Amino acid sequence: MTTIGLIGSGNIGSTLARLAVDHGHQVVLSNSRGPQTLDALVAELGPGARADTAAGAAAAGDVVVVTIPLGNYRQVPVEPLRGKVVVDTNNYYPQRDGRIAELDDERTTSSELLQAHLPGSRVVKAFNHIRAAHLADQGKPAGTPGRPALAIAGDDDEAKATVASLINQFGFDVVDLGPLAEGWRVQPDTRGYGPQLDAGGLRQAAADARRFGDTA
């Protein structure tokens, strides 16, 4: 059993919390509005869940999911996450996040920004290219033909293995894109972003990805 901390409890965060509890894990939820605003979700999830501040969720989690608007990434607490596996679900949407020059010209990726903010943590990109509704209900047992797949990217193999194990528990095959810098291959405006693909289809979509988008 793992304790999963969630910094952000929106659509993806709350869905991951439900999946985690359903698979026997403990969850500690947080959001920007305060633990008291999560009472209904905690009650729905049951005794395996509780709410705390972002710093509290970061401190409590064995694995911590950051699932907040990317523009707020500097608000993620640093010290409580030192040494921990941090799952980054974020995507860059300029209309929401404001313009970030190094992402606009693709000098770096959204997950590398978070890794730079959390130099003592082990960041793994995951869960960013699937809709919350599909994450909730499209998981299949291992070995099911056409089982949908999710991509991961990261610079620490042990951290990636930890996240891959959770993804497999939640009902999805795993496609390892390689280092964190390769996470862009399933960012918005790529063919891997959005559709439900099996492992072979997702590998092909990632291999075919082009900088500055490839859906046109």
173 sits in which H/E element:
strand 173-176
pLDDT recorded at residue 216: 41
Confidence label for 1 from pLDDT (cuts 50, 70 and 90): confident
- Classify burial at 158, counting beta carbons within 10 Å of its beta carbon; exposed 0-12, middle 13-18, buried 19 or more: exposed
pTM of the model: 0.95
**Each residue of 22-66: pLDDT tens digit?**
999 999 999 999 999 999 999 999 999 999 999 999 999 999 999
- pLDDT (mean) for 113-138: 97
Asked whether the predicted pLDDT for residue 122 surpasses 60, the reply is: yes
d(CA 154, CA 197): 21
Query: Are the C-beta atoms of residues 29 and 38 closer than 8 Å to each other?
Result: yes
